[in-house]
Amino acid sequence: MDNLITQLINLFAAVILMLAFAMLSQRRILTLIHLFTLQGLTVVASTVAVAYVTHQHHLYYSAALTLALKCFLIPYLLHRLINRLNVRWDIETLINIPTIMLIGIVLVVFSFNLALPIAKLSASIARGTLGIAIACFLLSFMMMITRAKAVPQVIGFLSMENALFFAATSATYGMPMVVELGIALDVLVGVLILGVFMFQIREQFDSLDISHLEKLKED
């Protein structure tokens, strides 16, 4: 049974990685939100699987918190945000998509090589997925730095937090509950602040392209 759960966790890890690549190449903001929601659901499922096989009951609370925050509340806020801003597409990337995907593959190879000696020190049943967690973090960071619009950058930041949570579950069976609550609150507050920030950009420049912020620096 434990072997079956371990294989299931590896499957969830592969799905999370595929979703990270899908988000990296996605240009439609609405679809990007849906992919982020699916990634959150997969992280929740993986956390529940780890909790079941290891009897780490605090992971059930972590999964419930992630489900409420990443799969319901934040997607709802993002949907309201793009409706208010009337944005659906993000066609601008600083690098073309094929090049981004090639760099993403290189990052995955680098992540697996980086995680290999670390995973050997871990006693977690999910230690084999640590490389995927690091790869997802780097892919999400890359999505942030290659997008010209503010909304996809916010989603990239949230996806990075997903990857960090998955890495913590993979390597150490999660963080203390008080730490997770603090991070969840910080993420929620961060989304609200970034939402206000995007409204201000739109009001000042009639666009969400962050390159317009250079005008403020020049002024």
What does the DSSP assignment read for 11-41? HHHHHHHHHHHHHHH--BHHHHHHHHHHHHH
Q: Given this model, what pLDDT does residue 74 score?
A: 85
Residue partners of 143: CB distance under 8 A and separation at least 6:
23, 24, 152, 153, 155, 156, 159
* CA–CA–CA angle 40, 70, 209 (5° rounding): 100
- For residue 114, being part of any structural domain is answered with yes
pTM: 0.81
Give 206's DSSP letter. Answer: S
Residue 7 lies in a domain: yes
Instruction: Write the pLDDT tens digit of every residue in 27-68.
Output: 888 889 999 999 999 999 988 888 888 888 888 888 888 888
Q: How far apart are CA 57 and CA 4, in angstroms?
A: 20
Q: What is the rounded CA–CA span in Å between residue 110 and residue 128? A: 15
Q: How many domains does the chain fold into?
A: 1
Structure confidence at residue 102 (pLDDT):
93
- Kindly state whether residue 84 falls inside one of the protein's structural domains: yes
Band (pLDDT 50/70/90 cuts) for residue 104 is: very high
The pLDDT assigned to 135 comes to 92
Write the pLDDT tens digit of every residue in 177-214: 545 655 666 666 666 666 666 655 555 555 555 555 55
Percent of the chain with pLDDT over 90: 18
- 122 occurs within a structural domain: yes
Residue-wise pLDDT tens digits, 58-95: 888 888 888 888 889 888 888 887 887 777 666 567 78
Cα(91)–Cα(29) distance, integer angstroms:
9
List the domain range (segments joined by +) for residue 160. Answer: 2-214
Q: Is residue 155 part of a domain?
A: yes
Distance CA 125, CA 186 (A): 29
Residue 139 covered by a domain: yes
Q: Is residue 219 part of a domain?
A: no
pLDDT band at 138 (very low <50, low <70, confident <90, very high): very high
DSSP bridge partners of 61: none
Q: Which pLDDT value is given to residue 178? A: 46
Whether 37 is in a domain gets the answer: yes
